[in-house]
Structure 1
């Protein structure tokens, strides 16, 4: 059975306008789906942050709960304003010349749309700073100072804040659309800054995590390397989901295609999902910290001190062994991969990366430290 309707029922609009309306409405549906995922992640993250509090991470977990709660409230406001504006464009203002798509593009001055614009920009600021901080943390053990690596992301973030303020001032001042305003349309430079920032940060984090993965696999084997630098870890820690959606928006936007609206509307909610995934990993003790790489390699070094046997260090402080002094290892004797039983405990504090103990490491093969 065909889904085509009687042509006489179609609005008196061009096919291009009707296609644009389809993308606007489908974008609203995608946003609703992403918001459902965000809500589930928010509840789960709060649960783990609350139940896994201890004297060491209590203040950190409380801060993160407040932080994601602010982001979630902003996202609720974004969702509410988008649904109300969609209702206005497709029902109350549907007979505007050009149809609902024109309404969506032109009526920036409505209070409900102003609310949505404000909370979208605020949400972006809150989420982007997390990504910049994660990049700073992951590059902390790097020989090059972390602030040198992150100077461009920091400048892009400050630029996005500045253009975000100018954009909000513009959309609240014009009576119609900023696309019709005289002078600079700050939508373009603002989104350019935001997208460039997130794509750059994603690329930097992916490259660094792949570097860590290479060295962990060399020292401990593929199975243990997957635990600390798996594909899922790389995708979540680098906010790849949001960067991918950003590119899906940017490409059709650059070609002036209505398909851009399909990805523009859920962009803010997808950014929240990406941020919540990062903090969820922190809540369950799997978030990458400044000392994760050094701790994993340190555990390998301690295990190698027992030749042909096993070692089970428990509740011992880290020695002064630095990540720069850690060497790779050659497995000899049996010729088999080392068998790892147990796991290295994740750092208890996400911000400073301090680690209190290494627990449950066993190696059932002959291991020898090699010269570098």
Structure 2
């Protein structure tokens, strides 16, 4: 049952890593030898084959974009297409070779196929990138000459494809050099007596099934945490771009930029120290008495473990703080209603600060009695506060959605009151992750180690999702809440003729406070009439 519960997390690459560093870590020559010599196991073959097939789609998409950007000219795409087909054929042969018994990614035949395959694939990517970038620069130059230097187009910016190709350009020499070095080394598979041994030979350590299960949870938790870090990194880049682009129109963007840089720095430190501690656990000190599982608990006062835990605890302060701020904003900036959550936040901060001090003491760990007595109430308060605020924020958004639908009809919508908005604004991702971890941690179940690494990243992901909505103008502000909560049914009609000749009926609602006109882009504008500020909420209903 336990083995099946982890199967979703054990894709071929983590599966091979688990076999290398846990299940068969007593293999002659160590995990490094096992990794090379046993890479013909199904997990190694599937992992390599999947990544090779992945390049077909990447190169094919880039070739298609190259053809599109160059006015769908078939002549100019002939040479890149031939390079793509050559790379595809060579990689298909490489996959067939890797499936043969006794062959690995580092045997002479595999290296002879892999080096030209990657050289062709990457050089095609780099050349296509240069040509696409040149085409963009030319189009940008022509566009600026036509409409002025201050104008811009979304098509003429750097995209992830060009960034990826730039990274490939940097990594190409090191990849080819590495393959060439391997080419001149002896064929490890054929020269190793261990390789000719039966594939059923067990190199498992002398540990119980429960110990191995605990170690697998710790190890796979690192992969899940790395996945969370990838999401964190992606959101960070998107937030920086959105906030920096709107820095001239929104006065608070610099403060938000500082906030997300702090979150990103904490997330980086936590991820790096977590990986370093895992390296010490499973590689540097893998012969520790009791195995990696015992080392993971006993040596958690190591500086890397202490820094990792402390950073992620501090991260919760920022996550809980921004959620409390959003709660206050969505509830019309009412200080009275925020008193109890604010007290819970302060209590959680104090408990977590004491926990950090306790973790720094020699001989202490995350699983000693005093640490658990501090950690469980700290996380219980933090997570329960998040869950309660989540429910209250979602309830508030549902109420606003109900009022809006009564005003403008069931077919109308706003970006503030969608299901996605409710999940993001309420930091639901952290709530779910936190509840699962808190239950497993309180029960001292090994699966807690699956959720702890990614919990540290969701503490950053949840605030970044909120900030991204703010930067894009899709999140609630104090003015938005005031406008929605003060709307009433005073109704008048007007029509507007669009550029294409169609007529749009505009429904107008008055609230007596501010004037808000909601067009196709949910734009807001204020008007004053005779010294009194009047509010109109106008939504196109067809």
What RMSD, in angstroms, separates the aligned Cα atoms of the two structures?
3.2
Contact 2:239 2:468 in 1 (8 A): yes
Distance 1:230 1:69 in 2: 28
Contact 2:466 2:475 in 1 (8 A): yes
Are 2:297 and 1:105 aligned? yes
Distance 1:124 1:10 in 2: 39
Q: For residue 33 of structure 1, what is the aligned residue in structure 2?
A: 227
Contact 2:507 2:540 in 1 (8 A): yes
Distance 1:193 1:107, change over 3 A: farther
**Offset of residue 341 of structure 1:** 6.0
Distance 2:370 2:448 in 1: 24
Distance 1:247 1:106 in 2: 26
Q: For residue 14 of structure 1, what is the aligned residue in structure 2?
A: 208
Distance 1:66 1:106, change over 3 A: same
Contact 1:163 1:186 in 2 (8 A): yes
Q: For residue 344 of structure 1, what is the aligned residue in structure 2?
A: 522
Distance 1:153 1:261, change over 3 A: same
Distance 2:467 2:535 in 1: 22
Structure index of larger Rg: 2
Q: 2:473 aligns with which of 285, 294, 299?
A: 285
Distance 2:519 2:369 in 1: 65
Aligned length: 330
TM-score calculated relative to the size of structure 2: 0.55
Distance 1:226 1:35, change over 3 A: same
Contact 1:170 1:178 in 2 (8 A): no
Q: For residue 367 of structure 1, what is the aligned residue in structure 2?
A: none
Distance 1:265 1:287, change over 3 A: same
Contact 1:130 1:275 in 2 (8 A): yes
Distance 2:388 2:359 in 1: 28
Q: For residue 452 of structure 2, what is the aligned residue in structure 1?
A: 264
Distance 1:149 1:277 in 2: 24
Q: For residue 492 of structure 2, what is the aligned residue in structure 1?
A: 305
SS in 2 for 1:86: helix
The one-character-per-residue Cα deviations of 1:115-149 (angstroms, maximum 9, x if unpaired) are 112211211111210001111111117xxxx3333
1:64-75 matches, cutoff 5 A: 64-75=256-267
Contact 1:138 1:290 in 2 (8 A): yes
Q: For residue 378 of structure 2, what is the aligned residue in structure 1?
A: 190
Contact 1:344 1:360 in 2 (8 A): no
Q: For residue 394 of structure 2, what is the aligned residue in structure 1?
A: 206
Distance 1:347 1:122 in 2: 40
Q: For residue 483 of structure 2, what is the aligned residue in structure 1?
A: 295
Distance 1:14 1:288 in 2: 54
**Offset of residue 152 of structure 1:** 2.3
Distance 2:282 2:372 in 1: 29
The one-character-per-residue Cα deviations of 1:49-75 (angstroms, maximum 9, x if unpaired) are 1111225x23x0011001100110011
SS in 2 for 1:258: coil
Distance 2:201 2:395 in 1: 53
**Offset of residue 179 of structure 1:** 3.2
SS in 2 for 1:9: coil
Moved more, 82-91 or 223-232: 223-232
Gaps of 5+ in 1: 324-339, 349-354, 365-372
Q: For residue 173 of structure 1, what is the aligned residue in structure 2?
A: 361
Distance 1:102 1:194, change over 3 A: farther
**Offset of residue 193 of structure 1:** 2.2
SS in 2 for 1:8: coil
Q: For residue 328 of structure 1, what is the aligned residue in structure 2?
A: none
Q: For residue 255 of structure 1, what is the aligned residue in structure 2?
A: 443
Distance 1:75 1:178, change over 3 A: closer
**Offset of residue 271 of structure 1:** 1.5
Distance 1:134 1:230 in 2: 16
Gaps of 5+ in 2: 1-40, 44-198, 497-504, 527-532
Contact 1:48 1:283 in 2 (8 A): yes
Q: For residue 336 of structure 1, what is the aligned residue in structure 2?
A: none
Contact 1:85 1:112 in 2 (8 A): yes
The one-character-per-residue Cα deviations of 1:81-104 (angstroms, maximum 9, x if unpaired) are 000001011112222233212222
SS in 1 for 2:205: coil
Distance 1:295 1:321, change over 3 A: same
SS in 2 for 1:291: helix
Distance 1:341 1:176, change over 3 A: closer
Task: With a CA cutoff of 8 Å and minimum separation of 6, indicate the structure with the bigger relative contact order.
Answer: 1
Are 2:327 and 1:140 aligned? no
Q: 2:217 aligns with which of 10, 23, 41?
A: 23
Are 2:245 and 1:92 aligned? no
Q: For residue 48 of structure 1, what is the aligned residue in structure 2?
A: 242
**Offset of residue 45 of structure 1:** 0.7
TM-score calculated relative to the size of structure 1: 0.79
